[in-house]
Chain A
């Protein structure tokens, strides 16, 4: 599956938000859930809690099976109950891969989509390691293919990014 890290730390994220923003936290429930819990229900809930504690207005959390399926993203924009919510929102925080981020930008053209994801390649989940590991890095990462995979913390360190949930 796709391996995605975060470009932003929690403080970097806060710097891109305003207190009067109406925030929607958006997450896939597939690859990113396995990326050390970067996405998924729990990651959304914990980010919502953190942001609300810091005085931000999170109006909704939206879980989607796959953000890389444009039709599913589009359904959220045109069908209730999410249509009204997204009309009201001013900013969307995507816990998705870069493909999902691009789809969000395409569908919600008038909304500010925070550039969170850094997609670094393909990975393998194994119960032996208990976590997803990067096996086929994208060329621009400068990392080498490894059949046993590279732990995401190590990848994040090398690429000056962040692994796991906010």
Chain B
């Protein structure tokens, strides 16, 4: 299943993901950027967990997994009890004062239907947010590392060859 993942060392904490999210949904953002020790930004968003605690605890079964694998809240069913927010290990679901319902990331399912990526991913200027299968992203990471290892190997071979000559 494709999801949004964070490459932490790329995040500048510019909060463009937050701005893009609130514009896309016409209300408050569904993700967060927290600053640790004033210096280190950490972006948090719904992980659309495989075994989602929010889905399990919702007393009215308003939280379901949609065709894209996103864990979404059906606002027409939500009673605003906030249990999902309490059990979420990332503290993502947010109580909206205006509607008295809980809102959370739906992985921009409308955009996914159009074949686009979630808006936070599109707008992230440093590509710290990546959309894909975890396996694919890990593969890419391994390929990048393999290229570095190869470069080191080539460098060492050149040094050794020079010494032998």
Contacts and interface: CB of A to CB of B under 8 A. Distances in A.
Interface of A: 28-30, 63-66, 69, 72, 75, 79, 81-82, 125, 127
For this complex, into which size category does the number of interface residues on chain B fall?
A: 10 to 19
A65 B16 contact: yes
A81 B15 contact: no
B39 A63 contact: no
Given A30-B13, A66-B125, 8 more contacts: A29-B16, A65-B17, A66-B16, A72-B16, A72-B123, A81-B23, A125-B39, A127-B39
B9 interface: no
A30 B11 CA distance: 11
Given A81-B23, A82-B23, A65 B15 contact: yes
A63 B16 CA distance: 8
5 closest A-B pairs by beta carbon, nearest first, are A65-B16, A65-B14, A69-B125, A30-B14, A66-B125
A16 B123 CA distance: 33
Contacts of A79: 23
B38 A29 contact: no
Contacts of A65: 12, 14-17, 19, 123-125
Contacts of B14: 28-30, 65-66
Contacts of B13: 30
B37 interface: yes
12 contacts: A28-B14, A29-B15, A63-B15, A63-B19, A65-B12, A65-B16, A65-B17, A66-B14, A72-B123, A75-B123, A81-B23, A82-B23
A127 B38 contact: yes
A35 to B, nearest CB: 14
A65 B41 CA distance: 13
A127 B37 contact: yes
A63 B19 CA distance: 7
Contacts of A29: 14-16, 19
Interface string B21-62: 001001000000000011100000000000000000000000
Nearest to B125: A69
A28 B125 CA distance: 12
A65 B128 CA distance: 13
Contact of A64 (B16, B39, B124): B16
B28 to A, nearest CB: 14
Contacts of B23: 79, 81-82
Contacts of A64: 16, 19
A81 B14 CA distance: 20
Interface in B86-137: 123-125
Nearest to B38: A127
A127 B12 CA distance: 17
Nearest to B26: A81
A30 to B, nearest CB: 5
Contacts of A75: 123
